[in-house]
C-alpha cells in the first residue's frame, strides 16, 4: 500500500501568504512532518499526527516522511517559503534517489510557496525586476570557496544578488567578506536591502547602500538584496523610498 507525500511551502510567515492549494493539502494530510516552529504555523486538525524535528536533520526527516508514506499515509512535509528554494524538496528527492527502492513508487508532489525574497522585494518596490541570482551564504553544505566563486561571477555579471542564510552565530564573518567582494564590482551607492522576518510580527526592512551595509544587522531570519548597476532608489514625497530595477539594462564593463 503506497501512500502519497506532498512537500508544502508555507510562505514566509503570515497566514495570508499561505496559498489556497497549500492550505488544502495540509488539511487533507494524515501526517505532518517538519521543523517544529514551521509546524506550529499549521492549524491543528483532529486525527492528524505531527512529527516536529530539529532544523538540521533534513535528510533524516525526509527518510522518515518517505517511510510513513510507503506505509500508506498521506504525508505533508512542511517547509518555509518555497519548498524548492534551499529547503525540504531537494532533501526528499535525494532521500528517494538514494534510499529504499520502494520509495520511488510513492506519489510525490511539490506544493509551491511564496519565497521570502518575493515578499521582501514587494515591500520596497521591484528590485528583482530584471536578471537576478540567489545565493545561500551558508557553508554548512558547500565549501566557502564555492560561495566566493559564485559571488564573484554574480557580481561580475551585474546581477541583482539575493543572499539567503547570510549570517548566524556559527557563521559570523562570511557576510562581511561577501559584501566586500561585491563592493569591488559595484558603486558604493548601490542600494542594499536588509529584510528581517518578512511578514512576521517583528518584520524590519532597512534600505541602505553597499557603503553603509553593516553585517551586524543580519541574522538567520534576514535576507539581503544587493542591487545591480541599474537598480534605482527613488524618494517619493517626503520620505517614502522605493527601490526598483528597470526592465531594461545596459552593458556595464566589470
Ligand atoms: N525556502 C525558504 C528559504 C529557506 S533558507 C524560502 O523560500 O523563503 C532560510 C533563509 O531564508 C533564512 O536564513 C533567510 O535568509 C531566509 N528567510 C526565510 N524566511 C524569511 C523571512 N520571513 N524573512 C526574511 N528572510 C527569510
Which segments of 71-173 does DSSP mark as H helices, in order?
88-98, 116-124, 144-156
Global pTM?
A: 0.96
The closest-lying atom of ligand 1 relative to the alpha carbon of residue 163 is 15
| Residue 79 alpha carbon, nearest atom of ligand 1 | 1
What are the phi and psi torsion angles at 70 (to 5°)?
-70, -20
> Residues lining ligand 1, CB < 6 A?
12-13, 79-82, 85-87, 115-116, 164-166, 195, 197-200, 220-223
Give nearest CA residue, ligand 1 atom 6: 81
Cα(81) to ligand 1 centroid in Å equals: 7
Residue 102 C-alpha to ligand 1 middle, in angstroms?
33
Comparing CA positions, the residue from 202, 213, 150 lying closest to residue 176 is: 213
> How far is ligand 1, taken at its centre, from the CA of residue 2, in Å?
32
Name the pLDDT band for 254 (thresholds 50, 70, 90): low
Place of cell 543572499: 163
Pocket test for ligand 1, best of 223, 224, 225, 226 (most atoms within 8 A of CB): 223
Query: Residues 232-253: pLDDT tens digits?
Result: 999 999 989 999 999 988 887 7
- For 1-48, how does the pLDDT look when each residue is reduced to its tens digit (9 = 90+)? 678 999 999 999 999 999 999 999 999 999 999 999 999 999 999 999
The predicted pLDDT at position 57 comes to: 83
Q: Tell me, in angstroms, the distance from the centre of ligand 1 to residue 238's CA.
A: 31
Q: Cα(224) to centroid of ligand 1, in Å?
A: 10
Which ligand 1 atom is nearest residue 168's CA? 13
Q: Each residue of 132-158: pLDDT tens digit? A: 999 999 988 899 999 999 999 999 999
77 Cβ contact list (under 8 Å, min separation 6): 5, 6, 7, 8, 33, 34, 61, 62, 65, 83, 88, 92
CA distances from 37 to 2, 78, 88, 98 (A): 29, 10, 15, 28
CA of 164 to the centre of ligand 1 (A): 6
Residue 81 pLDDT exceeds 70: yes
Amino acid at each position: 500500500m503506497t501512500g502519497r507525500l506532498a512537500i508544502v511551502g508555507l510562505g514566509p510567515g503570515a497566514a495570508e501568504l499561505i496559498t489556497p492549494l497549500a492550505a488544502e493539502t495540509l488539511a487533507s494530510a494524515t501526517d505532518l512532518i517538519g521543523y517544529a516552529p514551521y509546524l506550529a504555523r499549521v492549524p491543528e486538525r483532529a486525527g492528524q499526527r505531527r512529527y516536529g524535528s530539529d532544523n538540521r536533520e533534513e535528510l533524516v526527516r525526509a527518510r522518515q516522511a518517505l517511510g510513513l508514506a510507503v506505509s500508506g499515509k498521506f504525508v505533508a512535509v512542511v517547509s518555509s517559503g518555497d519548498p524548492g528554494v534551499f529547503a525540504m524538496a531537494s532533501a526528499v528527492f535525494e532521500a528517494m534517489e538514494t534510499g529504499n527502492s520502494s520509495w520511488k513508487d510513492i506519489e510525490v508532489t511539490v506544493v509551491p510557496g511564496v519565497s521570502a525574497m518575493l515578499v521582501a522585494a514587494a515591500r520596497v518596490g521591484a528590485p528583482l525586476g530584471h536578471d537576478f541570482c540567489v545565493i545561500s551564504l551558508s557553508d554548512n553544505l558547500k565549501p566557502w570557496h564555492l560561495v566566493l566563486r559564485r559571488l564573484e561571477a554574480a557580481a561580475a555579471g551585474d546581477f541583482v544578488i539575493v543572499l539567503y542564510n547570510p549570517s548566524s552565530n556559527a557563521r559570523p564573518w562570511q557576510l562581511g567578506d561577501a559584501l566586500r567582494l561585491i563592493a569591488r564590482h559595484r558603486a558604493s551607492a548601490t542600494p542594499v536591502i536588509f529584510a528581517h522576518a518578512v511578514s512576521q510580527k517583528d518584520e524590519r526592512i532597512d534600505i541602505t547602500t553597499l557603503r553603509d551595509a553593516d553585517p551586524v544587522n543580519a541574522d538567520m531570519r534576514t535576507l539581503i538584496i544587493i542591487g545591480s548597476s541599474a537598480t534605482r532608489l527613488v524618494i517619493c514625497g517626503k520620505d517614502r523610498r522605493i527601490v526598483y530595477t528597470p526592465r531594461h539594462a545596459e552593458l556595464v564593463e566589470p
